[in-house]
Homo-oligomer: A and B are copies of this chain.
Amino acid sequence: MTAPVPTDPASWLDAAPGGASLGAVALPDGHALFRVWAPLHEHVSVHVQRPVDVVVPLVPLSHGYHEVIVEDVSVGAQYLFRLSSGEECPDPASRLQPMGVHGPSEIVALRQDGSAPRFVGPELAESVFYELHVGTFSEQGTFAGVIPHLDQLVDLGVTTVELMPVSQFPGSRNWGYDGVFPWSVQASYGGPAGLRVLVDECHARGLAVALDVVYNHLGPDGNYLGRFGPYFTSRYQTPWGPALNFDGPFSDEVRRYFIQSAIHFFSELKVDAFRLDAVHAILDTTARPFLEDFAETLHRRAAASGGRVLVIGESSLNDPRLIRPVSRGGLGLDGQWSDDFHHACHALLTGERQGYYCDFGALSQLAAAYRSGFVHGGQRSEFLQRAHGRALDDGAAKQLVVCTQNHDQIGNRARGDRLARSLSPAQQRLAAGLLLLGPSVPLLFMGQEWGETAPFAYFTSHENAELARAVRRGRVEEFIAFGWRAEEIPDPQDESTFRSSRLDWTRAAEPSHRALFELHRALLRLRRENPAFQSGRFVDVEIREQQKILISRLRSAEELVALFSFSGQTERVELPVLAEAGRGHLLLDSEDPRWLGQGENRLVGTGSPHAVTVELAPNSFLVLEMSRST
């Protein structure tokens, strides 16, 4: 029961086995190392509860860290930290909370294949994300439940499975943004062991794994971090609670806690990419912002291991700085989630104008997203009542992750209804084409590829009664303002709300749904086979306002032209072609009977030596290949 006392915590923290720089780790000799950052406490003990009951004081090190090795304690042991106040709390760097957010933490086994070659996922521009929520993706609602469907995802053609947050949250049903132990993996999903198996199964199939991580707030129940140290600050507020302390006193150690948690997921659980939730709510005025620090440290760590890690921030700021290289004054993230493309599509397809859709609805805005990524590049937003964003750098559209549906865009609706509920089959095909033939990195939300009609509602399972009431009330109040009646809003706490949000895999096999899947598959193949889609840049984007037609031209070995019609009637379009290109032919047609198209898209013929004419059915698209005239 002795501990080494290194002088520089930074060095041993970084050099720790299995990324176990904080928390508890089973050592090869049958003992366990406990480390915790608790600068508010002179003395911290570890209370091991199972299989033995023993209390061991930790040795205070520098900068508020404490550490001890406890003999004959290993995997499966459950423990709490006893603070100088006498209070016992779970480990801030807990890997597993087998009895929930208020119970003891558990020591988990380290991965044994440390020397195996690292799986290397695709670059961002080559990626196609598939976002899924573990609890509702399968009947089981666990990591194990995901595995049987992986082959179908490979067949579909996505490259990366993106998991909504998996850190331990209160109860057993939650989107994940109420997580309170950032190093942990939800026990009811299968814990770290379950996640590890899922990641291995993905890698075995060539799929990368991205993880949604939340560094802007912690959930409202089971958040013990503040007892240990100044993890939070009162200087800033987030919509979801106190902001994390990334720029005040002791913020170096708070940053290290989060960065090391990601290193843990990268090194030990082999995650390939991180989606940082709502980085606009990470407030930090330092000269070296946390986000830059995070991305740089992760990138360095990945390079050292011969791997690759992608760092992607969800941002509402439309700020090119996030993804610019540090050498040009940027924060150096690989990519950012961007909503502009979604909003432009959604407003056009549905006609909705409520809330933030008030800024959208023009075909020219979709063209802007196709041309340069952002629609708001400094223009005034009526929704925000101010100028918004800044023009993206040329070609940086390939660093945007975009969607026509995601958990937020579906689940933040009053009833969580998907586009499959409001769009016609033709419109659903059109949406698929717009997304997968665009200049940015596409993300599909689970089930979207086959037109799942189940909602993805907002659900929780808070065990704290007051909190449960507040969440229920908040949800109703949010939508009453938009004219909904209280009884129309699903109760987030009701288990049936959660159940209704599960994918129905029997539906996926029905012909109409299968047909939509096949279209997605064909589009992804087309995208894969034409790397110019990854350039973030089209040769030309044009709209025919009166006909409601968007035309995008993509240079590649042969010229590709995509035409998208939002018109309610058949439109005839004459299309100039490049001088060196000859007669075109149809490469992909949204009205093809293979995906149950019912309209008639036709390449009518060449109107002139340098033009082709096409007829487009309502809400359809087609891709033409202009063969070089030889």
Contact = CB atoms under 8 A, between A and B. Distances in A.
Nearest to A248: B386
A226 interface: no
Residue of A247, A329, A384, A389 with highest tally of chain B CB at under 10 A: A329
Contacts of A287: 317-321, 378, 388-390
A357 interface: no
Contact of A252 (B248, B252, B387): B387
A387 B321 contact: no
Given A235-B237, A317-B285, A250 B386 contact: yes
Contacts of A288: 378, 387, 390
A297 to B, nearest CB: 13
Given A248-B386, A251-B386, A288-B378, A329 B318 contact: no
A505 interface: no
Interface in A330-366: 330
Counting every copy of the chain, the complex holds 2
Nearest to A281: B285
Contacts of A324: 329
Nearest to A247: B386
Nearest to A246: B386
Given A285-B283, A287-B390, A324-B329, A384 B317 contact: no
Interface in A378-424: 378, 380, 384-390
Of the four ranges (under 10, 10 to 19, 20 to 34, 35 or more), the interface on chain A belongs to 20 to 34
A250 B385 CA distance: 5
A112 to B, nearest CB: 36
Interface string A223-236: 00000000000011
A322 to B, nearest CB: 9
A152 interface: no
A249 interface: yes
Contacts of A378: 287-288
Interface string A261-286: 00000000000000000001001011
Contacts of A321: 287, 329
Nearest to A324: B329
Interface in A360-380: 378, 380
Contacts of A330: 329
A209 to B, nearest CB: 30
Interface string A211-231: 000000000000000000000
A320 B286 CA distance: 11
Contacts of A317: 285-287
Contacts of A236: 235-236
Given A250-B386, A252-B387, A287-B389, 14 more contacts: A235-B237, A248-B386, A249-B384, A283-B283, A283-B285, A285-B317, A286-B317, A286-B386, A286-B387, A287-B318, A287-B390, A288-B378, A288-B387, A321-B329
